[in-house]
Amino acid sequence: MPTDLENAVTPGLWRRLAAIFYDSWLVLALWLLGATADYFIQAAIGLGDAPVHLPLQLYLVACPFLFFGWFWTHGGQTLGMRSWRLKVLDCHGQPVGWRQALIRVAAAWLAALPLGLGYLWMLVDKAGLTWHDRLSRTRLVLVNKT
């Protein structure tokens, strides 16, 4: 694991997008499990077509935060990041904590909203950092092959 950020390699945009693509499928699977559970619970208690499913809505919002937060605070890599040899570290080259992880997830959503401009920013940033890297004071590094 590179702790010397001066010598760490910043991954390119395509590698990042590939990891996001992998992880998106995992989050989607968690969302589908939650929606399925909500459907059966609503049917079992007789609410059927209730217009508001607040527990499901909370679950759908919390899922990405918990998914990414847990992986980033327990090894710095999601499954998609592991496949593409990416790791998230704080600005000092140390593992991220829950606060930084949650800020990073929220900032990543914001970076994606304006047509991905926050991600494309890395193409003009001198350090190759995205908006969510900057806002959360974290960065991705390329992990050496083992």
Q: Where are the domains of the chain?
A: 13-142
Q: Which amino acid is at 48?
A: G
Query: How far is residue 19's CA from residue 17's CA, in Å, rounded to a whole number?
Result: 5
Average pLDDT over residues 48-56: 77
Average pLDDT over residues 72-82: 98
Query: Using a CB cutoff of 8 Å and minimum separation of 24, what contacts does 92-98 make?
Result: 92/5, 93/2, 93/3, 93/4, 93/5, 93/8, 94/3, 96/72, 96/136, 96/138, 97/73, 98/69, 98/73
pLDDT tens readout for residues 12-46:
999 999 999 999 999 999 999 999 999 888 888 87
Query: How far is residue 120's CA from residue 48's CA, in Å, rounded to a whole number?
Result: 43
Map tokens 């593409």 to a residue: 84
Query: How far is residue 53's CA from residue 45's CA, in Å, rounded to a whole number?
Result: 13
